[in-house]
Structure 1
Amino acid sequence: MFGLSAATIAGYLAAIVVLMVTPGPDMMFVLANAARYGRRAGVVAACGVAVGETVHVAAVVGGLATLVSTSPALFTAIRWAGAAYLVVLGVRALRGAGGPGTADAAGGGRGRSAFLRGVITNLLNPKMILFSVAFLPQFVDPAGGDVTVQLVLLGALFVAVQLAVDIALGVGAGRLAERMTDGRWSRRINRICAVAFVALGIRLAAG
């Protein structure tokens, strides 16, 4: 299909699954939003992350990602910006109430905020840049047809699978938060995600 064999696609999907079982900023962000504001906010956050991933894929196709990854100064700037953003998210989550959200809280301004922060969280993740540059091309077969078409297909598959996983996570965590009316579960998940954000930010800053 589009120059990619069934075996290549199967191996690619298997590799994606392995990558997704490792928690990262995107997964923590979706989980934190769902636990605090409900399943709708989790889904909106997942959509924001997917948009960020789409930008990364487009950058690979356009060659921009390669330029960023080969420029130490630019890559370091993005790494530090991403680290600072994660720490800020963690501190804000720790200072928040952490209670389950209402339908109104999940919509309107909360929804727009979750979407935009999801986009930013993904775009400022330098690991996504490295993934885009180093991972996607490994599954391209130059002899199999148009390389650009293959990259677009591989990127679309990744975004689709990631979106499905994040939405499932957001809906599941949101439902649990809505059932736990006393708010204890939401507060615990919120604190865990907050600490994870800060830890990921410090690790990212340390290189």
Structure 2
Amino acid sequence: MLGLSAATLAGYLAAIAVLMITPGPDMMFVLANATRYGTRAGVIAALGVAAGEAVHVAAVVGGLAAVVTASPVLFATIRWAGAAYLIFLGIRALRDGRATAATAAERNSRGGGAFLRGLVTNLLNPKMILFSVAFLPQFVSPATGDVTAQLVLLGAIFVAVQLTVDVTLGAGAGRFAGRVTDGRWSRRISRICAVAFIALGVRLATSG
């Protein structure tokens, strides 16, 4: 398939599976939206995250990601912006965790903005840039086919798998939260996500 052997694809899917079970900002964001604002918000957040990853893949194909990683100033700017945004999300989730259950109107209004917030969360994660630049090319073989086509295929597979996992997580968490009528479970998850966001933001800000 476009120069990719069955063994290469199998190894690639195995590597993706390991990455998907490791909690990160994207997964926490989807979970936080689903538990607080319902299934619809969780699914929309997952779509936003997937759109962000699609942009990263396009940047790799176009060579832009390599330019970003080669510029210490630009990369540091993205890193600091990403750290600040994660801490902002943590503070917001902490505030939500102290609030009462979201009303239907609030669920709709927050759900509608979940796509953009998911997109920004992914785009401002410099580790996704590094991942895209360092990970995808490992499975490309210039000797067996067009490099660009292989990168597009690998990127599309990654986005599809990530979207499937995040949509499943968002839908499941949203449905479960909807059955807990007192809202205590969703508030607890919001607090857990808040701590995770802030910790991830601090870690990103202090990492090299």
Q: Give CA deviations for 1:166-198 in whole Å, capped at 9, x if unaligned.
A: 000001110111000001100100000000000
Identity within the alignment, %: 75
Q: Would you say the 8 A contact 2:94–2:191 is kept in 1?
A: yes
Q: Would you say the 8 A contact 1:100–1:178 is kept in 2?
A: no
What secondary structure is seen at the aligned counterpart in 1 of 2:182?
A: coil
Q: 1:191 — aligned with what? A: 191
Q: 1:114 — aligned with what? A: 114
Q: Which amino acid aligns with 1:106?
A: R
Pairs within 5 Å for 1:147-166: 147-166=147-166
Q: 1:51 — aligned with what? A: 51
Structure 2: gaps (5+ residues): none
Q: Would you say the 8 A contact 2:41–2:114 is kept in 1?
A: yes
Deviation at 1:105, TM superposition (A): 3.3
Q: Would you say the 8 A contact 2:90–2:195 is kept in 1?
A: yes
Structure 1: gaps (5+ residues): none
TM-score (norm: length of structure 1): 0.97
TM-align CA RMSD: 1.1
Change (3 A) 1:205 1:44: same
Number of residue-to-residue matches in the alignment:
206
Pairs within 5 Å for 1:1-207: 1-96=1-96, 97=98, 99-107=100-108, 109-207=109-207
Deviation at 1:42, TM superposition (A): 0.2
What secondary structure is seen at the aligned counterpart in 2 of 1:4?
A: coil
Q: Which amino acid aligns with 2:143?
A: A
Whole-angstrom distance in 2 between the partners of 1:184 and 1:92: 17
Deviation at 1:111, TM superposition (A): 2.5
Deviation at 1:104, TM superposition (A): 4.0
Q: Which amino acid aligns with 1:90?
A: G
Whole-angstrom distance in 1 between the partners of 2:69 and 2:204: 15
Deviation at 1:113, TM superposition (A): 1.1
Whole-angstrom distance in 1 between the partners of 2:114 and 2:63: 29
Whole-angstrom distance in 2 between the partners of 1:3 and 1:104: 50
Q: Would you say the 8 A contact 2:34–2:41 is kept in 1?
A: yes
TM-score (norm: length of structure 2): 0.96
Whole-angstrom distance in 2 between the partners of 1:103 and 1:150: 44
Q: Would you say the 8 A contact 2:48–2:119 is kept in 1?
A: yes
Q: Would you say the 8 A contact 2:37–2:111 is kept in 1?
A: no
Q: Would you say the 8 A contact 1:38–1:103 is kept in 2?
A: no
Whole-angstrom distance in 1 between the partners of 2:48 and 2:185: 24
